[in-house]
Structure 1
Amino acid sequence: MAASVAWAQIPEENKPAVPCEHRGSFFSVGLGLSYMSLSKDEYISHRDEKGDWDKTLGRYVVKSVRYWGPKKHWNFSGFEFPSLDFRFGGAIGNVVSLYFTFMGGLYRGSAIREENNIEQRYIADENGHLIFLSENSESYYKREFDAVAAYGWFGVGFSVYPFRNPSSQLRGLYFGFSGGLDILGVRVEDNFDDVVTESYFLRYEVGKDWWVSETWSIGVALAFTSVIGFEDDYYGSDGGGRKSFTLLFRLTRG
């Protein structure tokens, strides 16, 4: 009882502040600017080989191999504003937050399409192993277009808040990682040819939150995302490789 009376007598400005921490469920929305670059190769490979029947071994022995066929190469780069990122999940003791993440948007930029005829030659050594001999590439088409790229992804992630001291200037600093599935389509303006990739993404993030009330915080984050496409063996597609840098301003509740 005496302790309660003593607490009530402390002036409001001298009472310890209620700690603002990420605990329990939370929701966060991010808005920012992003730059992305994409490369993708598609090719159809044919095979010719020459050899002889080896009477000693009793089998056909390959002497040389030639691979040839058309190859398409795409480059795209552009900016996106605004970048939109939504997260919801839960935080454990203001140390680790686990969440689902949804992100999508539209990049505007330029695409370069190049088509080549590729020829590779190999010879076989005495053990039958193929040794690379030469490669010839003849470009017969190259053009730059205005283009837009729409994408969306869904994944899971976590963030770690290593600094918990309320008086530390580093309080609210966090490091995050997320990954999941991604789909992207590039529409080339004034041209019939498009690029579509289905991929998975890995995102690395560093940011900082500042509390503006007991339940709301604002923050800023810088993220690097690497997107790796699924390979298509039938068409010889590498699936595409994509990199993006994103600056986000965040509003979080919880």
Structure 2
Amino acid sequence: MKNKLIALFILCVAVIANAQSVPTIGKSAPREHRGFYNSTSFGIAYNWFDNSLDDTDKYQNRQRHDVEIYEYNGYSFALGEFKFGVAIADLVAFHTVFNVGFFMGTVDYSNERYQEYCTEAGCVNMAQIDGIDDPTSNDAYNFRTYFGFGATFYPFRDKNSPMNGFFVGASLGYTLFVAVINGGNDSATGNGGFGFELEAGKEWWINDHYAIGFGVGFAHSSLVWETVKSHKSDNVLSLSFRMTRG
């Protein structure tokens, strides 16, 4: 009985000692993602959106549609993104996401005007040729921002593995943008919508608490303000260089 008690005591001491040697889930540890988490990145990006404005006047038996179509393509060399949150167990970080970018590119603009007459037999579209604007293409500058909440996963925890530091991330949030169009008469278009961001990349530790790396991302939003079905999306492809703490 005495030997069993001694063995049980030794086992308890070993378990307690081992527990003390392993960092807690949220406690900061060298070269591990635990506790406070902050990631800052800057990079280049390609943005394209299909935006529209459906200005419809409704009457008793007809509707007049005035649909403006904007198709934009642009590049940015100044896309910045900031993440703040908490990392758990050197495995996952939960964080807010905020990014902002200034894009330079071109926008194709067209305007469709027509009337829709409805009777008991159905509705008929009557195109109005007079006054329809010819399609144009002009330089445009787009200011875009995104705010959301997401998570970044670090699935390879073995510090000796060449895959250590590989990450994948995702977030859900809201996008806003305003594009200023240069032409005969300067004008602008803008919209907002709910969407998501996806990212994958690799980081390398440079000391006990900071890592540098790169990420490749894709973002998509479905626009919600007075759009038509065929033109209501915003998209971004990005390559960023990042510094992460925690």
Mapped partners of 1:209, 1:203: distance in 2: 19
Distance 1:231 1:197, change over 3 A: closer
Q: Report how many residues are paired.
A: 214
> Could you tell me which residue of structure 1 aligns to residue 78 of structure 2?
82
> Could you report, residue by residue, the CA deviation over 1:141-167 in whole angstroms, capped at 9, with x for unpaired residues?
211111101122222110111111222
State the SS of the aligned residue for 1:44: strand
Question: Which residue does the alignment assign to 1:62?
Answer: none
The answer to which structure has the higher strand fraction is 1
Does the alignment pair 1:143 with 2:126? no
Tell me, yes or no, if the aligned pair for 2:191 and 2:225 is still in contact at 8 Å.
no
Q: Is 1:92 the equivalent of 2:88?
A: yes
Distance 2:222 2:135 in 1: 25
Task: Give the unaligned 5+ runs of structure 2.
Answer: 1-28
Query: Could you tell me how far 1:208 is from its partner in structure 2?
Result: 1.2
| Stretches of structure 1 lacking an aligned partner (at least 5 in a row) | 1-17, 51-65
CA RMSD of aligned residues (A): 2.6
Secondary structure of 1:69's counterpart equals: strand
Confirm whether residue 105 of structure 1 aligns to residue 117 of structure 2.
Answer: no
In structure 2, how many angstroms separate the alpha carbons of the residues matched to 1:173 and 1:219? Answer: 9
Asked whether 1:230 is paired with 2:224, we answer: yes
Letter in 2 for 1:90: V
Task: Select 1:248's aligned residue among 235, 240, 245.
Answer: 240
Q: For 2:51, what is the secondary structure of its paired residue? A: strand
CA distance in 1, matches of 2:176, 2:107: 18
Aligned to 2:147: 154
Identity over aligned residues, as a percent? 23
**Where in structure 2 are the equivalents of 1:4-23 lying within 5 Å?**
20-23=31-34
What are the residue-to-residue correspondences of 1:36-47 with 2, within 5 Å?
36-46=47-57
Confirm whether residue 175 of structure 1 aligns to residue 171 of structure 2: no
Residue 35 (structure 1) aligned with residue 43 (structure 2): no
Give the conservation status (yes or no) of the 8 Å contact 1:231–1:237.
Answer: no
Aligned counterpart, 2:196: 202
Moved over 6 A (4+): 132-135
CA contact (8 A) 2:44 2:78 kept: yes
Distance in 1 between residues matched to 2:59 and 2:30, nearest whole Å: 72
